Structure 1
Amino acid sequence: MNGKKKIAGLIMALMVSASLAGCTGDEDGPDEPIDTLIIAYEVRDDYENIDENPQLFADYLAEELNYEVSLYSVDSEGAMLEALRFGNADIALMDGGSAWVGWQQYDLQVLAADQKSDGRTHYSAHAWVLADSEMAQAHLDDDPYTDPFSLLQGKTSCHTGWLKSAGMLLPMGYLIGHGYANVIGDPNDVETMRNTIYGFFNENASIPDSGTPYYGYSGAVKCLSEGVGHVAFAKDSTVASYCDNENSADNEDWCLDMDQYVALPEFGKSPSHPVMYNPETMSESKADAVKQVLVGMADDADASNILNDVLNTPGFVSVTTEGHMGSYSASIQNIPGIAAYYNDKYTINSSVSVTLDKIVIAHEVKADYENIDENPQLLADFLSKQLGVDVELYSVDSEGAIIEALRFGNADIGFMDG
C-alpha cells in the first residue's frame, strides 16, 4: 500500500508538470509561454504582508522569461532537494548546508547565488584572538615558522553554538583537515565533534546552547572579551558589528578597543544562499535563460520590492558550484558524521524508488480517436517512460466502473470528476 501511495504521488507530480507545459500546436499565438519553470519554495498558508508572497517572484519570472512559472510547495529544505532530485521542480533557493548535500550526493549544481547586504556572496570564518596573545604575535611577526593555529591547542575556545558554520564547522573542519586536531570517537557520528573539541582545546571550551550568555556571534566575542576564552570563532565582520559602530553608544558594553582584537587567517568561506538546479532534468539553455533574468533583477526597478520583501537580498550574481561552495566543502567534509547529520536534518530519503512492476490506470477508452493527441495511451507511455515501469490502461465505460476497478484492485489510479 505504501508503495502505491508513493507511485500515486510521483504520478500526480508528473501530471502537474506535464500539464504546465501546455500545447504547442499551430493554433498557439506568439504570446503563448515558450516553456515552463517550477520553483520549489516553502510557501506559507497565508501572508499578512502581501508583498512577501513568493507568487510575486514566480509572476516576475513568467513575465521576463515568457515561461509558465509555478510554485511547488514544500515544507522543508530536504523536500526541496527531493523535488530537484526527482524532477518535480526546476530550481530552489536554499541555505548552504542543504545545497552542499545536494551537490555532494545528487550532483545538483549552483545556478546563481544571492548577495549579502554588502554585496558579497559569502562571509569568511576567522579565529579572533586578543592582541597580546601568543597567537596574535605569531600571526603578526612575519615569521613563516611560527604557526598561530598550532598555538590554539590547549586554549579555551568560544564557539557560537553547536554545529554552527563559522563558529564550529569551518574552523574545526580546517583544524582537522590540516592535521592540527584529531577526531576522537566514531568518525561517522557527529557527536564525536564534542570530544574532538575538548581534546584539542580543553574541557572548558564554550559550546553554548541558545539563550545562554555566550551563545551566537555576540556571545562568542563576549566570551573572548571577558577573558572566559582565549579564541572566538566568528565571521570577519562580527567584531566590528558589535564594537565599532559609527555611534559608539551602539557598541556592546563588554567591548574592548578595536585594536585589542586580531583575526587570524580565514578558515574558509561560508556561502550565501544558492539557487540550485538539477542538470539532468534542466537543459543548459534553460538554466542560462533563468540565470540571466535572476542576475538582471538588481538593475530592474520593478524587481526591487521582490528582492527586498520576498527574497531578502539585494540581488543575485552568477557563480560556479565549485567557486561558491568549494571552500566550504573542503572544510566541512572533514567533520565526523556531517553527511549523515545533514541527511537527518533535512529529512532526506535516499531510498525512494519505484517498487511496482506495473501501474494500471482506469480510464474511459474510446474505440477510436479522430484526434490522435486525445488518446490516453499517450499518457500511459509518458508515465512509463518517466517512472521506468510498465503502465497499462484498464478500459471502463463509466465513472462507476472506475470506482469499482479501484475498489477491487483492478486498477491503481483513475481519473474522475470532482
Structure 2
Amino acid sequence: MTHRTLIASTLIGIILFSTLAGCLDSEEDENVIIIAFKTQDDYQNPEANPQLLADFLAEKSGYTVELYPIGSDIAAIEALRFGHADIAFLDGGSAWIAWKQHGLDAILADQKDDGSTYYNAQAWVLNDSEIQTLEDLEGKNSCHTGWLKSAGMLMPMGYMINNGIVEVTGDENDISSLRTTIEAHFGNASIPEKGDLYYSYSGAFRCISEGVGDVAFGKSTSYQDHCEGNDWCLDRESYRPLEPAFGQVPSHP
C-alpha cells in the first residue's frame, strides 16, 4: 500500500464513521466532503497533486470530494472554524494551536513508509561550532523553520523552557510571548514566513550552512531529507546533531 493510499484509506473510514454518527449537517451536504489543502498551480511531482487524493476518495467512498484551497495552516484552521472545510492536514504545531484555541480535534497522524507516525525534533550545528550543549545556545543566532512550527519552534522551545534553559519573556499564557522569548534568548533569530529563503526544514538547514545562524531547529533526519543534494548543502561531516533530541512530533503530509 502506498503512502498516499494509506492516508486516503484512513480518511475513508473517518468519513464513513462521521456519516454514520450523524455528524453531517444536512441532506444537501451529506454527500460532499471538503478538504482544506495547500494547492499550487504546477506540481513538479504529479503524485503530490492533492486532486489525486480527492479523486481517489471520491472513487472509493462514493462521495463528492472537493478541495478548499488555502495558503497556510492558519488559513486551514479558519476554514475548519467557519465551516468552509470538513478536514484539513496540519503541521503538528498548528494542530496543537487548533486544539488549544478552538477546540478542534486531531483525528489521525500521517503514517510514513516505515510504519512510523512521528519524527524526532532535533537541533543541528556545524561540526566545528563551539556549541556543545543546549545551554550554549543563549545569545547565538537561531534558524527556525517558521512561526509556530512544531519541530522548528514549539518542540525545542517547549523543551528548553520546561527544563529551565530558557526563561519566558512576557505573559506565558499568550502565544505571542514565544516570539519575545526567542528574541530575548537568542542573538538574531530567523523566523521566516512562507516564501522566504530560509523557510521550512530545508531553509533552516540552509540558514546555518550559509553562516546566517549558529543552530538550526528541525528533524533528526533533516540532513538526508532536506539538505543533501542541494548546491548550498555542505558535506555530512560538516554538521552534527545537538543532543538531546526534543521529542517526537506527529507526522503530517
Question: TM bucket by the smaller chain?
Answer: 0.5 to 0.7
d(CA) in 2 for partners of 1:106 and 1:212?
A: 31
d(CA) in 2 for partners of 1:230 and 1:98?
A: 26
One-letter amino acid of the counterpart of residue 94, structure 1: F
Go from structure 1 to structure 2 and tell me whether the alpha carbon gap of 1:157 and 1:106 turns closer, same or farther (over 3 Å shift): closer
Please say if residues 57 and 65 of structure 2, whose CA atoms lie closer than 8 Å, have aligned partners that are also in contact: no
Query: What is residue 113 of structure 1 aligned with on the other side?
Result: 109
Please say if residues 122 and 151 of structure 2, whose CA atoms lie closer than 8 Å, have aligned partners that are also in contact: yes
d(CA) in 2 for partners of 1:182 and 1:50?
A: 41
Query: What is residue 228 of structure 1 aligned with on the other side?
Result: 212
> What is the TM-score of this pair, normalised by structure 1?
0.42
Please say if residues 37 and 89 of structure 2, whose CA atoms lie closer than 8 Å, have aligned partners that are also in contact: no
Structure whose alpha-carbon radius of gyration is higher: 1
Asked if 1:41 corresponds to 2:38, the answer is no
- Once the two structures are TM-superposed, the CA of residue 270 in structure 1 deviates from its matched residue by 2.6
Asked if 1:54 corresponds to 2:54, the answer is yes
- After TM superposition, list the pairs within 5 Å mapping 1:364-375 onto structure 2: none
- The gaps in structure 1 that reach 5 residues or longer are 1-12, 21-36, 63-68, 137-147, 245-249, 274-312, 314-418
Asked if 1:129 corresponds to 2:125, the answer is yes
- What are the Cα deviations for residues 215-248 of structure 1, in whole angstroms up to 9, with x where unaligned? 333332233233332211122222223554xxxx
- After TM superposition, list the pairs within 5 Å mapping 1:267-278 onto structure 2: 267-273=246-252
Q: Percent identity?
A: 42
Secondary structure of the structure 1 residue equivalent to 2:180: helix
The counterpart of 1:207, out of the listed 158, 182, 191, is 191
One-letter amino acid of the counterpart of residue 177, structure 1: N
One-letter amino acid of the counterpart of residue 125, structure 1: A
d(CA) in 2 for partners of 1:211 and 1:259?
A: 29
Aligned length: 213
The counterpart of 1:16, out of the listed 20, 27, 33, is 27
d(CA) in 1 for partners of 2:180 and 2:50?
A: 48
One-letter amino acid of the counterpart of residue 205, structure 2: V
d(CA) in 2 for partners of 1:98 and 1:160?
A: 13
Asked if 1:187 corresponds to 2:172, the answer is yes
The counterpart of 1:196, out of the listed 181, 198, 223, is 181
- After TM superposition, list the pairs within 5 Å mapping 1:222-371 onto structure 2: 222-244=206-228, 250-255=229-234, 257-264=235-242, 265-273=244-252
> What is the TM-score of this pair, normalised by structure 2?
0.65
d(CA) in 1 for partners of 2:194 and 2:213?
A: 18
- Once the two structures are TM-superposed, the CA of residue 126 in structure 1 deviates from its matched residue by 0.8
One-letter amino acid of the counterpart of residue 248, structure 2: K
d(CA) in 2 for partners of 1:184 and 1:263?
A: 27
- Once the two structures are TM-superposed, the CA of residue 53 in structure 1 deviates from its matched residue by 6.5
- Once the two structures are TM-superposed, the CA of residue 272 in structure 1 deviates from its matched residue by 2.4
Please say if residues 143 and 208 of structure 2, whose CA atoms lie closer than 8 Å, have aligned partners that are also in contact: yes
- The gaps in structure 2 that reach 5 residues or longer are 1-23, 43-48, 70-75
Please say if residues 125 and 268 of structure 1, whose CA atoms lie closer than 8 Å, have aligned partners that are also in contact: yes
Query: What is residue 216 of structure 1 aligned with on the other side?
Result: 200
Secondary structure of the structure 1 residue equivalent to 2:109: strand
- What are the Cα deviations for residues 170-211 of structure 1, in whole angstroms up to 9, with x where unaligned? 211221222211111233443322221122122x23333455
